[in-house]
Amino acid sequence: MGMTDLRVNLSGVELKNPLIPASGTFGFGREFLPYYDLNLLGAISVKGTTGEPRFGNPTPRIAECPAGMLNSVGLQNPGAQAVAKEELPALRQVYTGPIIANISGFSEEEYVRCVERLTGQEQVAILEINISCPNVRHGGMAFGTDPEAAARITRAVKRVATRPVYMKLSPNVTDIVAIARACAEAGADGLSLINTLLGMRIDLQRRRPVLANTYGGYSGPGIFPVALRMVHQVTGAVDIPVIGMGGVTTARDVIEMMMAGAKAVQIGAANLVNPMACPEILAALPGEMEKLGIRALSEIERVPVN
Ligand code: SIN
């Protein structure tokens, strides 16, 4: 077991293992301090940050499903200034590893402003640019469902970024490869995929949508096969590294995601079901690697198509 090598590399950023709590499922890290030492994580992707503070959408904004959940949070966050001045310094007190700053916006100008505010922050190792939030009317997913808009945001952000830029893609498209290619050609250093799948639940008694916002993003184990397929398609088409996410729940899921072509893996909804999800997956990883004869995670090769 001691012989397994869990290290991975994302655009020159060394991670001691590939496990990263996904944005929006881990707050700004401190929320998980009662459960475990955050320093065992490969990196942390913090809650999506916008230029101004946001209260988010009206409630109810969570609906449970048999194999996952819907959220329509609406990018609740304290704003870039408070993230830079309060949240990230507080996280740095308890965590010395790489931080992934996740950035959202309603205009090109807002993305740029947010990146300018966060790119120089100590420990921010990667900028993850969310062009895939399904829960806001303007901006968000609108940028991630059109190749030209995705390229435009990528170029604008790259002009001011001093850290590797990973564009976070939406699965709510006909052809995710077209969006991935547009981002890569516009200079993205990497990609994160997938965000949530747009979904809905109905309250049968009330005959109304469960979510106040009507629709929400579906995440959890039910979306894993979709995420895997999209990661495999995208990594077959672009040369930049991909962080894979979507329903990852077990150590075997992590390995499967890396066999689909991902260089690192984010754990999202699993954190909300079991706050110990990440350390438990990490503890199981060496044993599962040994069973498969994998010595180093970085040596996993993307499986070919049949
Ligand atoms: C939200 O805050 O609405 C979720 C963000 C996202 O899925 O991009």
pLDDT in tens, 89-128: 999 999 999 999 999 999 999 999 999 999 999 899 999 9
Catalytic residue status for 65? no
Nearest atom within ligand 1 for CA of residue 77: 2
Average pLDDT for 180-199: 98
Q: Are 163 and 127 contacting, i.e. CB atoms less than 8 angstroms apart?
A: yes
Q: What's the gap in Å between 73 CA and the centre of ligand 1?
A: 6
Q: Are 36 and 26 contacting, i.e. CB atoms less than 8 angstroms apart?
A: no
Please say if the pLDDT value at position 240 is more than 80: yes
Q: Are 158 and 124 contacting, i.e. CB atoms less than 8 angstroms apart?
A: no
What domains are defined for the chain?
Answer: 8-56+76-197+221-299 (3.20.20.70)
Q: What's the gap in Å between 27 CA and the centre of ligand 1?
A: 12
Residue of the nearest CA to atom 2 in ligand 1?
Answer: 75
Q: Are 140 and 163 contacting, i.e. CB atoms less than 8 angstroms apart?
A: no
Q: What's the gap in Å between 19 CA and the centre of ligand 1?
A: 20
Is the pTM for the entire model greater than 0.95? yes
Average pLDDT for 209-233: 98
The encoded tokens of residue 146 equal 């059109």
Task: Tell me the pLDDT tens digit for each residue of 41-57.
Answer: 999 999 999 999 999 99
Q: What's the gap in Å between 56 CA and the centre of ligand 1?
A: 9
Tell me the best of 25, 46, 72, 75 to mutate to test the pocket of ligand 1, counting ligand atoms within 8 Å of each CB and taking the most: 75
Query: How far is 281 from 285, CA to CA, in rounded Å?
Result: 6
Residue of the nearest CA to atom 5 in ligand 1?
Answer: 133
Please say if the pLDDT value at position 139 is more than 80: no
Q: Are 50 and 114 contacting, i.e. CB atoms less than 8 angstroms apart?
A: yes
Output the pLDDT for position 2.
61
Residues with CB under 6 A from ligand 1: 24, 48, 71, 73-75, 130, 132-133, 135, 195-196, 217
Active-site position among 65, 114, 133, 183: 133
Residue of the nearest CA to atom 7 in ligand 1?
Answer: 133
Please say if the pLDDT value at position 61 is more than 80: yes
Q: What's the gap in Å between 71 CA and the centre of ligand 1?
A: 7
Question: Is the previous residue joined to 60 through a cis bond, with omega within 30 degrees of 0?
Answer: yes
